[in-house]
Amino acid sequence: MMTRLTPLALALLLTGCSVGPDYLRPANWLPTAFSTSAPLPEKTNPAVEARWWTLFADATLNDLVDQALQHNADLRTAIARVEQADAAAREAGAAFFPAIDAQAGGSNSKLSTRTATWSANSPDILRTRSAALVTSYELDVWGRVRRSNEAARANLLASRYGRDAIRLSVAGLVSSTYLNLRALDARLLLTQESLRSREESARLVKAQVDAGQVSPLDQYQADGALAALQAQLAELRRDRALAEHQLALLTGNPQLTIATGDLRQMPLPPQPPSGLPADLIDSRPDIRQAEQQLIAANANIGVAKAGYYPRFTLTGSLGSESKTLSDLFGAGASTWSAGLGLLMPILDFGRTTARVDQAKAVNEQSLIAWQNALQTAYKEVRDALVRLREDGEAETAQKVRVDNAQQALAIANRRYEAGYSGYLDVLEAQRTSNDALQAMIVSRQARLGAAVDLFKALGGGWRDEAGDSAATPAREKSLSPS
């Protein structure tokens, strides 16, 4: 009896082995912070704020992002991929348990009278009825099943992080498009104000031409400038409609309409603290996705290496067999069997080695992809920080430009009314003022857009250890001129 149990006991003792390398997280060689300025105080521990778009304090933006996170087609597809990966992981996990199948059958057969086993007492028809439960279970001696399950779990997590990466991308795209739409709203308002002013100027010039006070050239110039502004207004209305259509597609709401707003009334972008820690990018879903893919690739090396070793399989059945169906479950009809099988590779002409080499190559690719994702994320954060700083400086300069352009326009109007200069000076001053106002709106949009890019690059906003937002937006006085 002990001799019979020895192979089974040996196999059970070996089930703790797992071939292939255990995953060790590669060293992160990136700098500890994104800035050379003073580090954060020790009590400050920034963490990611998932709903970072709420820091812009805009109810319409919040509603649009929420709609997109529910109805966006790309995100719904990613959710379906997560469900697929979850099912694959459950399938891999089921290999830890034996599969039990029901088996039933019946046969009628006529025996040959010409065989050596036939006798006069042999029945003419041999009838057999059987029913049994059968099972087959692979003993995970070398960890092939465990490594397969490890890879499946990592792939499941990777698909979840992939979904989160798409969620972050969708939220960023909705936010950027919304900021563009609000910038167009503000430019439309400015253009409409400039248009009313030029219409009034054109009427005054026409009255002066009719009275013979100025040359008809002034009227042609005034009418041409008015037409140019009308064309600009039409282009802005077109771009605004297209931005609205893009938001409709992103939110999965074809009939979406957005009331007119003004970018100038939105709060300034939150300012990141000094010495922002670089390990914040570890929370980015694409970084986590790349690492889980690396974990899966590492586990698959073990799956491939298990091909070098024998497979042990337990088989068994429990059932009944009889001549007639009525006696199938009667006394004496029961049957059972149990066995231990071994499948040992002897010669495969390098097939297993090739599979191991493939798995190692995929693992190397996954490692490079993870490292590249880290470098890309670090670069994107640095780019966003530079843009946030420099776009803020540019906006400040644009405000000075607007103030000077409006002062010059006022002087040009007074000089023309007094007859000291021609109408061409007024037109040039009007054009300069309009360009400055438009550029100031573009600068504000770029500054807000840089904040969106920073949030995306970090995988979210930042909060201190107390849970208070370290990125609370602050409103600034209107960009519109006084």
Q: Is 205 part of any domain?
A: yes
- ∠ CA 195-200-201, nearest 5°, is 95
Residue-range definition of the domain harbouring residue 223: 30-107+125-463
Per DSSP, the three-state class of 127 is strand
- Number of helices followed by number of strands (H, E) in the chain: 8, 6
Gap between the Cα atoms of 253 and 164, Å rounded: 21
**Mean pLDDT of all residues in 269-286:** 77
Report CA 282 to chain centroid distance, whole Å: 14
Q: Is 335 part of any domain?
A: yes
The candidate with the shortest Cα–Cα distance to 373, out of 451, 298, 440, 284, is 284
**Tokens 């490890």 — which residue?**
150
Answer whether residue 117 shows pLDDT above 70.
no
Per DSSP, the three-state class of 107 is strand
Asked if 411 contacts 425 with a C-beta cutoff of 8 angstroms, the reply is no
Answer whether residue 114 shows pLDDT above 70.
no
Q: Is 354 part of any domain?
A: yes
Q: Is 114 part of any domain?
A: no
Answer whether residue 96 shows pLDDT above 70.
yes
Asked if 293 contacts 369 with a C-beta cutoff of 8 angstroms, the reply is yes
Per DSSP, the three-state class of 287 is helix
Q: Is 475 part of any domain?
A: no
pTM of the model: 0.78
Gap between the Cα atoms of 65 and 24, Å rounded: 37
**Mean pLDDT of all residues in 403-407:** 91
Helices (H), 342-422: 351-418
Give the type of residue at 223: D
Gap between the Cα atoms of 428 and 125, Å rounded: 113
**Mean pLDDT of all residues in 277-286:** 82
Number of domains in the chain: 1
| Tens-place pLDDT, residues 407-443 | 998 898 888 788 787 777 888 888 888 889 889 999 9
Q: pLDDT class for 325, splitting at 50, 70, 90?
A: confident
Asked if 29 contacts 156 with a C-beta cutoff of 8 angstroms, the reply is no
**Tokens 């006798």 — which residue?**
119
The candidate with the shortest Cα–Cα distance to 291, out of 18, 26, 21, is 26
Q: Is 168 part of any domain?
A: yes
**Mean pLDDT of all residues in 317-340:** 75
Kindly tell me the burial class for residue 29, based on how many C-beta atoms sit within 10 Å of its own C-beta (0-12, 13-18, 19 or more): exposed
Per DSSP, the three-state class of 121 is coil
Amino acid 55: pLDDT: 85
Asked if 69 contacts 150 with a C-beta cutoff of 8 angstroms, the reply is no
Gap between the Cα atoms of 240 and 419, Å rounded: 41
Gap between the Cα atoms of 79 and 67, Å rounded: 15
Which span out of 80-94, 205-219, 392-406 was modeled with the highest average pLDDT? 392-406
Which span out of 97-101, 126-130, 267-271, 435-439 was modeled with the highest average pLDDT? 435-439
**Mean pLDDT of all residues in 332-345:** 80
| Tens-place pLDDT, residues 354-381 | 999 999 999 999 999 999 999 999 999 8
The token duo for 462 is 């930042």
Gap between the Cα atoms of 439 and 80, Å rounded: 44
What CATH number does residue 399 fall under? 1.20.1600.10
Gap between the Cα atoms of 154 and 293, Å rounded: 7
What percentage of the chain reaches a pLDDT higher than 70?
83
Main-chain phi, psi angles of 50, to 5 degrees:
-65, -45
Amino acid 123: pLDDT: 67
Q: pLDDT class for 132, splitting at 50, 70, 90?
A: confident
Q: Is 14 part of any domain?
A: no
Answer whether residue 347 shows pLDDT above 70.
yes
Amino acid 368: pLDDT: 93
The candidate with the shortest Cα–Cα distance to 7, out of 318, 338, 347, 346, is 338
**Mean pLDDT of all residues in 274-278:** 73
Q: Is 10 part of any domain?
A: no
Amino acid 231: pLDDT: 93
* 31 vs 186: which has the higher pLDDT: 186
Residues 6 or more apart whose CB falls under 8 angstroms from that of 343 comprise: 310, 311, 313
Asked if 33 contacts 276 with a C-beta cutoff of 8 angstroms, the reply is yes
Amino acid 466: pLDDT: 43
Mean of all residue pLDDT scores within the chain: 81
